[in-house]
Amino acid sequence: MNNVRRKQLSDISSKLDELREALEELRDEEQDYYDDMPESFQGGEKGDRAQEAIDALESALDNLEEASGNIEEAVEA
């Protein structure tokens, strides 16, 4: 791989890191929202929606981590 493509991948990796940080912040805020709910709400529709959002954000974070790892492998190849 030439230096131009390595630089492009490095830039993409940096952007993924920024996105990961933003998603982690949103996930943490949603988790705090859920944790601050009364238990009766946590077991209800609001709690279910909050937990679904948390799970979806966790999945997105996992996917970003996998993408970052794949980019790192490509750079090292």
CA angle 53, 45, 50 (to 5 degrees): 20
Nearest to 15 by CA among 58, 69, 64, 74: 64
Average pLDDT, the chain: 95
Give the global pTM. 0.87
Percent share of the chain, pLDDT over 90: 92
pLDDT in tens, 36-62: 999 999 999 999 999 999 999 999 999
CA angle 29, 61, 6 (to 5 degrees): 130
Contact 30, 54 (CB under 8 A): yes
Residue 68's Cα: distance from chain center in Å?
11
Alpha-carbon span 52 to 77, nearest angstrom:
38
Whether residue 11 is predicted with pLDDT greater than 90 in this model: the reply is yes
Give the confidence band of 76 by pLDDT, cuts at 50, 70, 90: confident
